[in-house]
Structure 1
Amino acid sequence: MTQAQLTDEEWEFVGSYLPIGEYGPYPERLRQQFEGVIWRFKTGGQWREMPTEFGAWSTVHNRFRQWRDAGVFEALLEGLIAEAAKRGEVDLSLVSIDSTTARAHHDAAGMHLGKDVIDALEKAT
């Protein structure tokens, strides 16, 4: 058992978000492939380093891309938040509604300004 394996209860929740097409994926392999995706991001390892217990790394990578493109991870996150809210386990004080409250330095985005421009901007704020 690797650190990426889901409990049956977790899989029941996650599995309901994964699409099954007419020609695949094979439902019995979805859990294995999803756990491979978890392994990849939990360990930071390369796709090619993935243990064979998750299936072929290229298949798991392709499945990840399909799920990403289909919006599965966003839907799953929203579902998890909704479930936590039903149980009263959501702390909305940790949510940032307005990003202007976290001001970044102008160099944070790779922008380089001359000293005269920076001085003018600082005087304007």
Structure 2
Amino acid sequence: MARFDLTDFEWSVIEPLLPTKVRGVKRVDDRRVLNGIFWRLRTGAPWADIPARYGPHTTCVNRFNRWRRAGHWQRILEAVSAAYEGDVQMIDSSSIRVHQHAANGSKKGDPVAWVARAAA
């Protein structure tokens, strides 16, 4: 078990929420795939760089997207938060480096569009 893999307690909360309809080929273990998805989200690495111990990276990205469209991630977050009695903390930040000469560059295009995008 890697440092940030799901604990047995977390898995017991999440497992009943996952889809159980099996189609076609045998499924890669859901817990393994979830750990791969969480590894990717935690590191910010490309999907293709997910370690092999988590199964094929294509399986991880496909399940992530399929479960997102089906609303499973919202249910998982709510269940884990309830299991920890609301004591879940998350931090989300983005940092984008700008070339040293681009920071003071002129903004080409319609200035109203810049304001509209900033307000959105």
TM-score (norm 2): 0.65
Amino acid at match of 1:109: R
- Count residues with an aligned counterpart: 94
Summarize the Cα distance change of 1:17–1:48 in structure 2 as closer, same or farther, 3 Å threshold. Answer: same
Amino acid at match of 2:117: A
Q: Following the alignment from structure 1 to structure 2, what is the Cα–Cα distance between the partners of residues 82 and 25?
A: 34
Does the alignment pair 1:36 with 2:36? Answer: yes
Cα RMSD after superposing both structures? 2.7
Please name the residue that 1:15 is paired with.
15
Q: Following the alignment from structure 1 to structure 2, what is the Cα–Cα distance between the partners of residues 61 and 20?
A: 18
Please name the residue that 2:117 is paired with.
109
Question: Greater Rg, structure 1 or structure 2?
Answer: 1
1:59 CA drift (Å): 1.0
Summarize the Cα distance change of 1:29–1:77 in structure 2 as closer, same or farther, 3 Å threshold. Answer: same
Q: Following the alignment from structure 2 to structure 1, what is the Cα–Cα distance between the partners of residues 60 and 29?
A: 10
| Structure 2 residue ranges without an equivalent (≥5) | 88-113
Please name the residue that 1:47 is paired with.
47
Identity %: 32
Q: Following the alignment from structure 1 to structure 2, what is the Cα–Cα distance between the partners of residues 24 and 31?
A: 19
Q: Following the alignment from structure 2 to structure 1, what is the Cα–Cα distance between the partners of residues 35 and 15?
A: 11
Name the SS of the counterpart of 1:110 in structure 2: helix
Summarize the Cα distance change of 1:52–1:28 in structure 2 as closer, same or farther, 3 Å threshold. Answer: closer
| Structure 1 residue ranges without an equivalent (≥5) | 91-105, 112-125
Name the SS of the counterpart of 1:40 in structure 2: helix
Q: Following the alignment from structure 1 to structure 2, what is the Cα–Cα distance between the partners of residues 45 and 27?
A: 24
1:109 CA drift (Å): 3.1
Does the alignment pair 1:79 with 2:83? Answer: no
Q: Is the 8 A contact 1:17 1:76 kept in 2?
A: yes
Please name the residue that 1:117 is paired with.
none
Amino acid at match of 1:31: R
Farther-moved stretch of structure 1 (50-59 vs 10-19): 10-19
